[in-house]
């Protein structure tokens, strides 16, 4: 009978460990019964997304209900501020993103913004933030990082990554620095395909890894792996599945060329096509754990009980089949539980003092104005032409952007039109611009663009508009890579709501209070 009892106990421990390493999501603004049940069976982490957030009171009630089931629990969210927001997914963020903070280049400001963001997360019961992005935006054509990066200079990115980690964690929220070993030099979005970065190891050490070393030195509690292939490091597996990247580089001591990181390694979303379309989610999760990952992030797209059970069973089966060492799974589960205990909401320490208006202050400081000559501020309702590219999945299409709403608050009667690549292709650029000018009916025009350097259709439409109406003001809300154009050019370095507020103030020479 003794062997049977030992076997049952071992099976139960294995199942609990398999659940412990998962960071799943769910749908709805209340906790489903299946999730509460799995928390009782060993699940230690829950990931939240915009679909789970209505308002701070609802979010606090939700996390409180989760913790009533399991006190030592990781509640994670993808709240970068700026373009990528979940707390304010339907209204736009109260905080500028990384690119705006990098443009100001004041680490004290970055630390203060991150601390206030962390305070709001902690007040809602969230204790792990999948941020900051430490990617060096060395490829201006990058379709997924862009304004999510502090900039293109590794040293600038490093000092602001460290400041962000310090600020966030001073509010009692663990930072998860991403996307290791660096997603900035990619021309492909890993949500859709597997990016490949063809740089040598010295370049990786001198560019991509510099901010991650700074994050580790600043004490980041977690690091998120990227689904990117670096042949110089591992010619077969993307970083998330690569022992060379996770165990051999991220974990290795500095004396061996590694980063010496001993915290939690979290994967990027395993349902992203770079993994799921190549390896499958179950196989990919087994390989990630075997490579050195501790927590499997899933739930952005697959968010039900079935995916939790599939991954749990895949991990248990892999251990039993000898594909995944039982000790590796046990070590990963122990790291997750350790972070859950360390970041327990009751023990976050001294609460951060509120810093109202810090986001708008930062957005104002990030604004860069270039005038072709004298420019009279807008004093009457204007017409806003928003040249809108397809949003990447990380940002999503639910979060509003542009300056029309903020401008209309200062100048009631302001109207807007949305122009897309499809509309430009269907009507032709000349006809599209003629339509805009007809609708403007003599009003001053404000053209809003986002990464105009990446979108030829947008650049052509903007040039055509400026040729017809040279007095047009241009607001660039992406990476300001293209030369400034327009009678007045405003670079906001991001599309957060506060960036729009700062731009609207500059266009009208008026000021909004932070609470307006």
Residues classed as catalytic: 191, 268
- Which stretch of DSSP H or E encloses residue 407? helix 404-410
Cβ neighbour number for residue 344 with a 10 Å cutoff:
16
Cβ neighbour number for residue 372 with a 10 Å cutoff:
14
The answer to whether the beta carbons of residues 102 and 84 sit under 8 Å apart is no
- Nearest Cα residue to 502 out of 372, 356, 359: 359
CA dist 350 → 15, 164, 406, 450, 510 (Å): 36, 18, 36, 40, 38
Q: Determine the longest span between alpha carbons in the chain, in angstroms.
A: 90
- Which stretch of DSSP H or E encloses residue 297? strand 296-297
Q: Please measure the distance between the N-terminal and C-terminal CA atoms of the chain and give it in whole angstroms.
A: 71
Tokens at residue 18, please? 């398999």
The answer to whether the beta carbons of residues 223 and 192 sit under 8 Å apart is no
User: CB under 8 Å to 64, separation ≥6 — which residues?
Assistant: 125
User: What is the four-CA torsion angle of 212, 214, 216, 219, rounded to 10 degrees?
Assistant: -140
Distance CA 177, CA 166 (A): 12
Distance CA 226, CA 208 (A): 12
Dihedral sign for Cα atoms in the order 143, 105, 174, 48: negative
Report how far Cα 482 is from the mean position of its chain's Cα atoms. Answer: 24
Cβ neighbour number for residue 464 with a 10 Å cutoff:
17
Distance CA 88, CA 142 (A): 25
User: CB under 8 Å to 413, separation ≥6 — which residues?
Assistant: 380, 381
- Nearest Cα residue to 446 out of 507, 401, 394: 507
CA angle, 85 then 91 then 96, to 5°: 50
Cβ neighbour number for residue 364 with a 10 Å cutoff:
20
Distance CA 53, CA 57 (A): 10
Distance CA 494, CA 479 (A): 7
Classify burial at 256, counting beta carbons within 10 Å of its beta carbon; exposed 0-12, middle 13-18, buried 19 or more: exposed
Cβ neighbour number for residue 453 with a 10 Å cutoff:
17
């Amino acid at each position: 009978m003794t062997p049977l009892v030992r076997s049952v106990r071992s099976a139960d421990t294995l199942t609990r460990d398999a659940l412990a390493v998962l960071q799943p999501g769910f749908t709805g603004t209340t906790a489903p019964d299946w999730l509460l049940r799995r928390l009782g069976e060993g699940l230690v982490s829950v990931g939240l997304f915009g679909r789970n957030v209505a308002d701070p009171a609802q979010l606090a009630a939700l996390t409180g209900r989760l913790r009533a089931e399991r006190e030592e629990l990781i509640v994670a969210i993808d709240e970068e501020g700026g373009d990528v927001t979940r707390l304010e997914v339907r209204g736009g963020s109260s905080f500028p993103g990384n690119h705006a903070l990098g443009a100001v280049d004041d680490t004290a400001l970055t630390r203060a913004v991150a601390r206030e963001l962390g305070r709001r997360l902690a007040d809602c019961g969230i204790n792990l933030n999948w941020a900051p992005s430490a990617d060096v935006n060395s490829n201006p054509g990058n379709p997924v990082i862009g304004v999510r990066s502090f900039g293109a200079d590794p040293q600038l990115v490093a000092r602001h990554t460290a400041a962000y980690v310090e600020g966030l964690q001073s509010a009692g929220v663990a930072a998860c620095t991403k996307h290791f070993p660096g997603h900035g030099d990619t021309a492909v979005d890993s949500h859709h395909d597997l990016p490949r970065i063809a740089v040598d190891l010295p370049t990786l050490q001198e560019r991509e890894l510099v901010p991650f070393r700074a994050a580790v030195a600043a004490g980041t509690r977690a690091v998120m792996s990227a689904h990117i292939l670096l042949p110089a490091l591992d010619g077969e597996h993307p970083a998330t599945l690569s022992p060379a990247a996770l165990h051999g580089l991220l974990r290795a001591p500095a004396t061996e060329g590694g980063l010496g990181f001993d915290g939690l390694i979290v994967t990027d979303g395993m349902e992203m096509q770079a993994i799921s379309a190549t390896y499958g989610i179950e196989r990919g999760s087994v390989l990630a754990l075997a490579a050195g990952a501790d927590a499997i992030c899933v739930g952005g797209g697959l968010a039900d009980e079935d995916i939790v059970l599939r991954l749990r069973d895949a991990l248990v089966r892999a251990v039993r089949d000898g594909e995944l060492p039982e000790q590796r799974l046990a070590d990963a589960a122990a790291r997750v539980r350790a972070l859950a205990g360390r970041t327990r909401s009751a023990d976050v320490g001294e609460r951060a003092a509120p810093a109202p208006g810090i986001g708008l202050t930062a957005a104002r400081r990030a604004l860069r104005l270039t005038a072709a000559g004298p420019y009279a501020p807008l004093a009457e309702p204007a017409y806003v032409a928003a040249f809108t590219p397809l949003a990447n999945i990380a940002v999503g299409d639910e979060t509003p952007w542009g300056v029309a709403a903020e401008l209309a608050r200062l100048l009631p009667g302001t109207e807007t039109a949305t122009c897309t690549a499809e509309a430009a292709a269907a009507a032709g650029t000349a006809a599209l611009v003629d339509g805009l000018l007809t609708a403007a009916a003599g009003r001053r025009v404000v053209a809003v663009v986002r990464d105009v350097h990446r979108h030829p259709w947008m650049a052509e439409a903007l040039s055509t508009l400026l040729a017809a109406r040279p007095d047009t003001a241009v607001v660039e809300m992406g990476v300001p890579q293209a030369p400034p154009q327009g009678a007045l050019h405003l670079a906001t370095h991001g599309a957060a709501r506060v960036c729009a507020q700062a731009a609207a103030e500059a266009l009208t020479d008026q000021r909004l209070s932070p609470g307006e």
